[in-house]
């Protein structure tokens, strides 16, 4: 058998060459395989980065929520979860982690890896990328761009949804007019409201100003009137900046 093996191999090679000539088969160049591999790896990285961006915005939106107000205005965890959970970005995160897993499996080495290893790698890359995007502040700019789109902002921003509950005593918007006992507020749905501020307490705001973005806790009187009990900065970052500036003035 050992003496027949070289002959068998020679015949097999000869048959393969004859088949190639007969069928006019053109070998695929090596660079085709390399290019395909690079493209698949590129798609894996792009998918992971998009998943990372989604994760960074989830972190941002959760950090922007004032949990004290949530507990005061919503009785149970299930109730407030329906309002403040960043569903849109969670779906985007899961979707692009899935795409990243698919692309990783089709790399030159990926098909040898187990499902849990592929999934873990995709999740890890997305979480690392998301943490970097969040730490650098880029996620704030991305969210701001999303908020500029009228209908999309209600879908992607839980903070928007949370503050657009007039029947629960929650409202937010921009001050259009300042009167002695009242302000005219354009809310997040571009509707004008008359806000009674006679008994309102300013929380972490030195004073009210035109074009200022605020959040209001109070009660709805009718479809155009609202009575304010507390007025706060629209974003927690604004609140933090105000507290920091106040502390620096006291120390100087």
Range in 101-105, 108-112, 125-129 the model is least confident about: 108-112
Q: Percent of the chain at pLDDT above 90?
A: 13
In this prediction, residue 227 carries a pLDDT of 94
The arithmetic mean of pLDDT across residues 168-182, rounded, is 89
Instruction: Identify the CA nearest to 223 among candidates 245, 197, 200, 193.
Output: 193
Residue 82: which pLDDT band, with cuts at 50, 70 and 90? Answer: low
- pLDDT, tens only, 42-70: 777 888 888 888 888 888 877 777 777 77
Backbone angles phi, psi at 217, to 5 degrees: -105, 130
Reply yes or no on whether the pLDDT at 86 is more than 90: no
Which pTM was predicted?
0.59
Which of the residue ranges 88-97, 107-116, 160-169 would you say has the lowest mean pLDDT? 107-116
- β-bridge partners, 171: 216
Residue 235 in 3-state DSSP?
coil
Domain at 166-251, CATH homologous superfamily: Nucleic acid-binding proteins (2.40.50.140)
Task: Name the residue among 36, 47, 35 with its Cα closest to residue 121.
Answer: 47
Question: What one-character DSSP code corresponds to residue 28?
Answer: P
Cβ neighbours for 50, distance < 8 A, ≥ 6 positions apart: 92, 96
pLDDT reported for residue 234 = 79
Domain boundaries, the chain: 31-155, 166-251
Closest among 151, 239, 66, 177 to 186, alpha carbons compared: 177
């Amino acid at each position: 058998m050992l003496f027949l093996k070289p002959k068998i191999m020679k015949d097999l090679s000869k048959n393969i060459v004859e088949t190639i000539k007969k069928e006019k088969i053109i070998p695929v160049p090596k660079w085709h395989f390399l290019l395909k591999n690079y493209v698949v790896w590129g798609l894996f990285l792009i998918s992971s980065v998009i998943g990372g961006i989604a994760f960074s915005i989830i972190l941002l939106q959760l950090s922007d929520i004032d949990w004290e107000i949530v507990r005061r205005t919503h009785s149970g965890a299930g109730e407030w979860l329906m309002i403040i959970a960043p569903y849109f970005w969670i779906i985007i995160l899961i979707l692009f982690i899935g795409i990243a897993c698919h692309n990783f499996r089709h790399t030159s080495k990926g098909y040898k890896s187990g499902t849990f290893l592929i999934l873990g790698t995709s999740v890890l890359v997305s979480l690392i990328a998301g943490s970097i995007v969040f730490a650098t502040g880029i996620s704030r700019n991305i969210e701001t761009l999303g908020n500029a789109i009228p209908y999309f902002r209600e879908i992607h921003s839980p903070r928007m949804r949370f503050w657009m509950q007039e029947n629960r005593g929650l409202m937010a918007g921009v001050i259009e007019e300042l009167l002695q006992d009242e302000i005219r507020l354009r809310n997040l749905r571009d509707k004008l409201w008359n806000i009674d501020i006679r008994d309102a307490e300013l929380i972490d705001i030195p004073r009210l100003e035109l074009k200022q973005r605020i959040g209001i806790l109070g009660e709805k009187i009718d479809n155009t009137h609202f009575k304010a009990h507390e007025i706060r900065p629209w974003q927690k970052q604004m609140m933090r900046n105000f507290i920091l500036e106040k502390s620096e003035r006291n120390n100087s």
